[in-house]
A and B are shown apart, each in its own frame.
Chain A
Amino acid sequence: SQTIHQWPATLVQPVGSPLSLECTVEGTSNPNLYWYRQAAGRGLQLLFYSVGIGQISSEVPQNLSASRPQDRQFILSSKKLLLSDSGFYLCAWRAGGRTGELFFGEGSRLTVL
Chain B
Amino acid sequence: GENVGLHLPTLSVQEGDNSIINCAYSNSASDYFIWYKQESGKGPQFIIDIRSNMDKRQGQRVTVLLNKTVKHLSLQIAATQPGDSAVYFCAENLEAGDDKIIFGKGTRLHILP
Which residues does chain A contribute within 8 Å of B42, judged by CB atoms? 106-107
Most buried by B among A43, A104, A106: A43
Say whether, besides A43-B6, A90-B44, A104-B44, A99 and B32 are in contact (CB < 8 Å). yes
Interface size class of B (residues with CB under 8 A): 20 to 34
Partner of A43, one of B32, B100, B104: B104
- Mark each residue of chain B from 1 to 14: 1 if its CB lies under 8 Å from any CB of chain A, else 0: 01111111000000
Q: Report the minimum CB–CB distance from B110 to chain A (whole Å).
A: 14
B93 at the interface (CB under 8 A from A): yes
Contact: A104 with B45, CB < 8 Å? yes
- Mark each residue of chain B from 84 to 113: 1 if its CB lies under 8 Å from any CB of chain A, else 0: 000001010100100111111110000000
The interface size of chain A toward B, counting residues with CB under 8 Å, comes to: 27
Distance A58 CA – B21 CA, assembled complex (angstroms) = 30
Q: Taking CB as reference atom, which chain A residue is nearest B51? A: A99
Question: How many A-B Cβ pairs are below 8 Å?
Answer: 72
Contact: A43 with B51, CB < 8 Å? no
Distance A26 CA – B106 CA, assembled complex (angstroms) = 29
Partner of B100, one of A59, A90, A101, A107: A59
Q: Taking CB as reference atom, which chain B residue is nearest A33? A: B99
Q: Report the minimum CB–CB distance from A62 to chain B (whole Å).
A: 13
Can you show 15 pairs from A to B with CB atoms below 8 A apart?
A38-B4, A39-B4, A42-B4, A42-B106, A43-B4, A43-B103, A43-B105, A44-B4, A44-B89, A49-B99, A51-B99, A57-B100, A59-B100, A105-B43, A107-B43
